Chain A
Amino acid sequence: MKFVKWQWLTTSLMALAVAMPMHASAQEELNVYSARKAQLIAPLLEDFSKQTGIQVNLITSKADALLKRLESEGRRSPADVLITTDAGRLHRAKEAGVLQASISPELLKKVPASLQDKDGLWLGLTTRARVIVYAKDRVNPQDLSTYESLTDSKWKNKICIRSSGNIYNQSLVASMISHKGEEATAEWAKGLVANMARKPKGGDRDQVMAVAAGQCDLAVVNTYYLGQMLNGSDEAQQEAANQVAVFWPNQKDRGTHINVSGIAITKSAKNIESANKLIEFMLSKPAQEWYAKTNNEYPVMDGVEPSDTLKSWGEFHSDHLNLSKLGELNPQAVKIMDRANWR
């Protein structure tokens, strides 16, 4: 009988102990909600803490979940800063009313206008391009031109691309809607599906592997995955990446589709000064170079050298579409892909 009572007591004590909120010290702090995975943000945050003495607390999760959390927590949210890996989600955060316009004007000036919100609620930190890669031995790059031309019948059963559930594809289709309209995009999506070599599956690296293995000739992938494959420790991936080359689509017209990882200050933020210090730090040369090197992403700042891998792919002309559009058009993009049977 005693045993039972003790069991209940310890259980309730344990429940109490875990219910205690983490206590904050008096030190200057900054709370970060990040959709960028820990391995791609934590090292920089540590450097930032060392430099400034500001203690950074981090939660990483999916962007949608962080947004939902921000919305529900409202003005009581502990978050000061939101970091995402695509502009669409930052736009959603703006629409949901969980951001405030507190990024300092000097910082906004540093970043190209197309890579930030028009009301200054968020800005891009790094960019990446969604490009066409082709099998060097089987494809003549002169046969390639635009995303649109991927529907050409000569590419029948030759294209690999990941599923429509992926945000990168959703953004690409959203950019297409913005430039070409819904109807033309719907036609394009159908044409692309008709040319797919296999049912969409796997991630971007899987598409490159499939091209190297001969299952398809072309793949649509983000540049940094290719960069990571080239610089990673996995020999099979390195070998596969060496068998493909990058083609920059739409160089003669609107430019290659890009997206950003970006940052915003939340409405509930209590440490606005520290938040601005973090943004300044993320735009600094060392941080920008770190992303170029570690994740093969392009710096948003002029005058920062991209990594050797990035340089080897050459210069390119990027789509100057305001990235807020990607967020606005995301639901339409998904519907178009659904109707086109893009899995």
Chain B
Amino acid sequence: MTKSPKFWLLSTLLLAFVLTIPIWVLASFVFQFGNDNWQHLLDTLLPEYIINSLVLMFGVAFGTLLLGVPAAWLISHYQFTGSRWLHWALLLPLAMPAYISAYTYTGLLEFEGPVQSALREVFGFGVSQWFPEVRSLGGAVLLFSLVLYPYVYLLSRSAFGSSSQKALEVSRTLGAGPVKSFFQVALPMARPAIIAGVTLALMETLADFGAVQHFGVDTFTTGIYRTWSGLDDTNTAMQLSLVLLSFVGILILVERWSRQQQRYYVGDVKTDASDYVQLTGKKNVFAFAVCFLPILLGFLVPSGQLLYWSLTTAETNLNSDFFELTWNSFSLALITAVATVAVAVFLAYAKRMSNLSRVKQFVQVAHLGYAVPGTVLAIAIIIPLAWFDKTVDDFFYENYEISTGLILSGTLFALVFAYMVRFLSVALQSVESGLARIKPSMDDSARTLGASSWTIMGRIHLPLMHTSLITALILVFVEVLKELPTTLILRPFNFDTLSIKAYEMAADERLADAGLPALLIVLTSLIPVIILSKLMDKRSG
């Protein structure tokens, strides 16, 4: 049952269309002309939104590279104190939502917080004159770098770990030193993976609302929200979102371009213990510090603060409601992860099997959803779903005098659909990179032996890329668990999650009470992160 190119073309077209409905809804706002708010924005805040967003992007790109790449390199080539557990612990900040990390850091480092207060006690009032301001653009760059570097680390580690091993051996045999080999061989080879990781981090940065708002940094996203809510102007807000999307379009093009420059197919190279270089002395300490620092600042410090808050409020807060919240969050994340990865696999296959450029373009568009701010995405989903419900309702009412009411809006379906649009990119990045590493010649051999597409997929590809699939599942799972704005806007009656609870407490300026739900988000996310690292251990161990 080998499928014709037409099958792939039509099915991808349909799927890509459905998944990009919110983008089309957004695009339709281009044609809404109206008021002088654009002029007002141009005169006042727009330049700042653009500059802040750009500075944030460059800063986060630099920061995530600086934290993610060296750690990945050290972990995949050297043995040093703690390298065994640092290897998976470096993923921990994935479990920490940016806005929650932001709460903890302001709580700790602000003028009124314990750190500055203690310093003032010891060194006098002058301390606070030079103490860097947490709620600033620089603070935001650091914060995002700390919570988002795991994308860069994860993707570059797998690139360093498998594909570059052989080439590096050759380079070393030919007399290149470790530094030269790194910059001239390993880094260029891993570049597509590294850039994919940075792209994910940047998309997430651009779409963030909670953390930048808390830090008082005006970005495109806060501008969109302000225009929508403060100026009561949906049209201009949606048009601003389109400008934001064009930023992201460029980002995606750069990423694709980088990927097309090189194409390597390398089979799984098992590394054994003898491939790792044992570090000693100062080098050992240095390597440990490079890997431990991101974990300390990205995970341990904020979790410590959350734990402290949770303990101080546990007496009043810890009750059976939290089991329900945790269960809601967990099951929602699981269902979404499975569904999203299934769709990602299908799309990645369509691309590989059909070899039509049209199909590739459709799949490309599906990445855009990741960068749409959650609030905007939610509105762009409410509109078409409500339209669908209205159409169905009208049809049944006219023909059978039955009112079907709302079928899709306000249900968990709407929520899962929204997450899928938002996080498909995460799943696709992982699945595609897994698939890309399997040589097409393998498919050809299998086909010569009479295997159908489905057999090739089920018997050869899926087993070979199981790590990529699990990575995709877990990334989506964690993303959904952390997600706030879409959940807040689209969820059905009587359905609350941990992130909603954390938000409602924090929005009421009860940070300590937000500690427990936030900590539970982190703990629930840890389960899959640990599974992921175990699986990776098995592979490289």
A residues contacting B by CB (< 8 A) are 1, 3-4, 7-8, 10-11, 14-15, 18-22, 31, 37-40, 57-62, 64-65, 68-69, 72-74, 76-78, 92, 163-165, 170, 199-206, 209-210, 212-215, 225, 228, 232-234, 236, 240, 330-331, 334-335, 338-339, 343
Contacts and interface: CB of A to CB of B under 8 A. Distances in A.
A164 B407 CA distance: 39
A240 B117 CA distance: 13
A18 B488 contact: no
Interface stretch (B8-16, B268-276, B376-384, B424-432): B376-384
Given A37-B508, A339-B43, 19 more contacts: A4-B457, A21-B405, A22-B493, A39-B508, A59-B491, A59-B492, A61-B489, A72-B386, A74-B386, A74-B390, A76-B386, A76-B406, A78-B410, A202-B106, A210-B111, A236-B112, A330-B232, A331-B230, A334-B231
Nearest to A32: B493
B242 interface: no
Interface string B465-492: 0000000000000000000000011011
Nearest to B128: A215
Nearest to B413: A19
A69 B232 contact: no
Contacts of B496: 38, 60
Closest 6 CB pairs of A and B: A72-B386, A19-B413, A57-B493, A334-B230, A201-B216, A18-B412
Contacts of A76: 386, 389-390, 393, 403, 405-406
Contact of B493 (A10, A58, A200, A232): A58
B493 A31 contact: yes
Contacts of B379: 65, 68
A206 B112 contact: yes
Contacts of A200: 216
Contacts of A8: 342
Contacts, number: 177
A40 B409 CA distance: 26
B443 interface: no
12 contacts: A4-B462, A11-B342, A19-B408, A38-B500, A62-B489, A65-B488, A76-B403, A77-B406, A205-B509, A233-B312, A330-B230, A330-B232
Contacts of B375: 65
Given A38-B496, A78-B410, A14 B339 contact: yes
Which of A65, A225, A234 has the most chain B CB atoms closer than 10 A to its own CB? A65
A309 B416 CA distance: 45
Contacts of B45: 338
B327 interface: no
B508 A40 contact: yes
Given A59-B492, A64-B229, A65-B489, A215 B410 contact: no
A92 B112 contact: no
Interface in B215-255: 215-216, 218, 222, 225-226, 228-234
A16 B476 CA distance: 20
Q: Pick from A18, A40, A164, A232 the residue with the most CB of B within 10 Å.
A: A18
Contacts of B409: 69, 72-73
Contacts of B234: 68
A212 B457 contact: no
Given A18-B416, A22-B493, A202-B135, A7 B342 contact: yes
B504 interface: yes
B455 interface: yes
A22 to B, nearest CB: 6
Contact of B228 (A15, A64, A69, A205): A64
Contacts of B458: 1, 3-4
B389 A212 contact: no
Nearest to B232: A331
A69 B382 contact: yes
Contacts of A10: 338
A37 B390 contact: no
Contacts of B492: 22, 59
B6 interface: no
B454 A4 contact: yes
For this complex, into which size category does the number of interface residues on chain B fall? Answer: 35 or more
Which of B234, B313, B403, B504 neighbours the largest number of chain A CB atoms within 10 Å of its CB? B504
A78 to B, nearest CB: 7
A209 B112 contact: yes
B213 A331 contact: no
Interface in B446-471: 454-455, 457-459, 462
Given A59-B493, A61-B488, A204-B509, A21 B504 contact: no
B230 A15 contact: no
A202 B382 CA distance: 31
Interface in B381-400: 382-383, 385-386, 389-390, 393
Contacts of B222: 165
A210 B113 CA distance: 10
A1 B409 CA distance: 35
A60 B491 CA distance: 9
Nearest to B227: A334
B512 interface: yes
B260 interface: no
A199 to B, nearest CB: 6
B173 interface: no
Most buried by B among A40, A203, A228: A203
Interface in B487-519: 488-489, 491-496, 500-501, 504-505, 507-510, 512
Residue of A37, A225, A339 with highest tally of chain B CB at under 10 A: A37
Given A18-B411, A58-B494, A202-B106, A1 B455 contact: yes
Contacts of B494: 22, 57-59
A261 B56 CA distance: 37
B104 to A, nearest CB: 14
Contacts of A228: 509-510
A204 B509 CA distance: 8
Contact of B339 (A11, A163, A202, A209): A11
A170 B230 contact: yes
B40 interface: yes
Nearest to A214: B125
A78 B135 contact: no
B55 interface: no
Nearest to B230: A334
A20 B413 CA distance: 8
Given A14-B338, A165-B222, A334-B226, A20 B216 contact: no
A191 B182 CA distance: 57
B335 interface: yes
Contacts of B230: 164-165, 170, 330-331, 334
